[in-house]
Amino acid sequence: MDKKIKLLYTQDILRQSAQCFGIREDSIFELNGFQNFVYSGVVGDRKVILRIAHVTHRNELLTRAELDFIMFLNDCGMKVARPIQSLSGDLIHIIDDSFVVTAFEKAPGRNAVIAEESNMFYENIGQMVGKIHNFSLHYSSQHSRYEWNDNALLASFKEYCPLELHDNFDRLITEVSALAKKKDAYGLTHGDISPGNYLNNGDNAFIIDYDDAEYSWFVSDIATPLFYEIPIPWVVSGDVRKEIAKRFYSNFLNGYCKENTVSQGWLNKIPLFINLRQARVLSAFYRSRDFNAPDWSEWDEQARRFYYENLLNNTPYIDMDFLC
């Protein structure tokens, strides 16, 4: 989250937001929102999630497009955390002309642990992602989301990231931009399939948070969870790291192919989209984090260095084949 937005946010905005949806003030608990202010709370006898976004991150029209997509997936039979109505019957409220407020059902399950879940869970994630893409082929809406290259982290990369990375970043964007936008390979994607956005409920996967939904190549939603599930070498290296990657990828792909088709040609583009995700994460680091702050951990620093060196030197994120 941009540091300027944090300075604009107040407890009064939280109070007004909670009141819109009838959330008990004494039940509010802050969660780890990265792009937004996110809380759990209680309405009546049910738990809900309250999300507060600044309009510079997501305006009302983009938010309506997100909610449209979630409800479309729900109507198709997918398990989703549906948006809930406020006390006035609205799905969205605007506070002080600056903050876009929504609330959602609380999904079942616990946070997934990177590289430690079962093969069945990884397969179930892949199956859910395959469903999203299959349904996306038939989706249209009056409210539009943005294209992949309009993602704020990519659009602001040169503003925040070191100059020496700019040339390779430009080459990366040029290479991705040259890909064909075929109907069976390009559409509205989740945009942020990651352990922070999928829950484990007895090995059943539940994907949440469509805030980053964007028009992109479906393979990007395959590359992104792989990127996050593979530990950086500072944590695990060598053959063990590669085996972790292979276990996640093979099980994820088994599940994905139950619901949607993907060619070997697109799977060969996974390293390209992993590089694109690295660029987004680097942009987020340089935009939002204070490298000298107490909460900047050794893991954060090692990850930043790893992504930085990879992009600077065109080093593959991991050396493996992405075969069907």
Residues 166 and 153 in one domain: yes
Residues 156 and 278 in one domain: yes
Tell me, what CATH number does 171's domain have? 3.90.1200.10
**Whether the Cβ atoms of residue 193 and residue 208 lie closer than 8 Å to each other:** no
Instruction: For residue 102, list its beta bridge partners.
Output: 51
**Whether the Cβ atoms of residue 227 and residue 277 lie closer than 8 Å to each other:** yes
Asked if residue 324 is part of any domain, the answer here is no
Asked if residue 321 is part of any domain, the answer here is no
Residues 100 and 148 in one domain: no
Reported pTM: 0.95
Could you please report the per-residue DSSP string of 139-178? ---SS---BGGG-HHHHTHHHHS-GGGHHHHHHHHHHHHT
**Whether the Cβ atoms of residue 164 and residue 158 lie closer than 8 Å to each other:** no
Residues 59 and 177 in one domain: no
- Domain range for 80: 3-105
Tell me, what's the pLDDT at 309? Answer: 98
Q: Which of 83, 105, 127 is the endpoint of a domain?
A: 105
**Whether the Cβ atoms of residue 159 and residue 91 lie closer than 8 Å to each other:** no
214's CB contacts (< 8 A; 6+ apart) are 145, 146, 147, 148, 150, 151, 188, 189, 191
Distance CA 223, CA 154 (A): 17
Q: Which of 55, 86, 105 is the endpoint of a domain?
A: 105
Q: Which amino acid is at 160?
A: Y
**What beta strand segments (E) does 55-172 contain?**
93-95, 99-105, 110-111
Instruction: Tell me how many degrees the CA angle 108-70-285 measures, rounded to the nearest 5.
Output: 80
Q: Which amino acid is at 237?
A: S
Distance CA 215, CA 284 (A): 20
**Whether the Cβ atoms of residue 197 and residue 208 lie closer than 8 Å to each other:** yes
Per-10-residue mean pLDDT, the chain, length 324? 81 96 95 89 96 95 97 97 96 96 97 96 98 96 92 96 98 98 96 96 96 98 98 96 98 98 97 98 93 92 97 96 89
Q: How many domains does the chain have?
A: 2
Residue 165 has, within 13 A of its CA and on its CB side, a CA count of 25
**Whether the Cβ atoms of residue 47 and residue 41 lie closer than 8 Å to each other:** yes
Residues 96 and 137 in one domain: no
Distance CA 89, CA 67 (A): 15
Residues 115 and 245 in one domain: yes
**Whether the Cβ atoms of residue 168 and residue 314 lie closer than 8 Å to each other:** yes
Distance CA 310, CA 111 (A): 29
| 150: its two tokens | 């309009």
Tell the burial category of 291 from Cβ atoms under 10 Å away from its Cβ (0-12, 13-18, 19+).
exposed
